[in-house]
Structure 1
Amino acid sequence: MPQTPPVTVLVADDDDAFRLALVDLLAADERFEVVGSAPSGVDVHPLCAELRPALVLLDVRMAGGGPTLARSLGTLEGHRPVVVAVSAQTGVTTVAAMLEAGVQGYFAKGRLGTTLPDALARVVAGERVLDVPGAEQALRLVEGSLDPER
């Protein structure tokens, strides 16, 4: 049986220790190959164009990050990586904004563990995975069935 090639990953986070921990976690899993990392959102576009990762882990509140960057990654010429948000920012409106920008997963930094590679594999396979408090509310907000003032 032919072995599936690993999913190429770019990790973008302005917290050096956290970014390196994510790189180490994913590098230890044969399903993933970390091809690059970025300390700011400004670095993500050029690295995506050069390295063409299949998956981008994106901190929401780093300089140059957020919904604008997530949305722009969906318009890369000839290459559209799966984008997953990883953030300490888990408010319903923040999660909803990232979902509207096209992210396929959203993970709370404080809730990450050794199960992250399994969750990311599910996202790459086409499943939307949200591991944040209020995920259901964020989805309803995006769908227009929740009043943001409530």
Structure 2
Amino acid sequence: MCTAITLQSQQMENFFGRTMDFSYWIEPQLYVVPKNYVWTNILNNHRFYNYYSFIGIGQESDGALGFFDGVNEKGFAAAALYFADYAQYAMPMIHLGKKPVASLDFLHYILGRCGSIEELNIILQNLSLIGLPDPITQTVAPLHWLATDRSGQCQ
């Protein structure tokens, strides 16, 4: 189980931290992803491009790059958190006209496209998260996410 915390100091400085209590062997690395970077959604090979540059901790496995956490140029930060038995995703072919994004790609998607929690909320209205087995556990990872922005707003 992973945990995360955000807090704001009396000087209005924002802090974001997380643990990664994970029983599988991982080899995380630091990635710097540029603005306008074009990447492919593992769900359907749809191409996306990033509005913002970001740095993130992630891992490449079986040709897919998944992120665990990161922060972008706008001060928007987010983490993917593993929490067994507490995730439900849309079925791969049933996304009711919303843009389907694999749960494993979700962090990359929001770090590259959201500058604030307000923007995240707008994006979430038109997005359908689809669970796919990840290359590390070979299961649909029970993920949830925490995001915060430079104002200290959190979701």
TM-score grouping bracket, smaller chain normalisation = under 0.3
More strand by share: 2
**RCO higher in structure (CA 8 A, sep ≥6):** 2
Q: Which has the higher helix share?
A: 1
TM-score of the two chains, using structure 2 as the length reference:
0.25
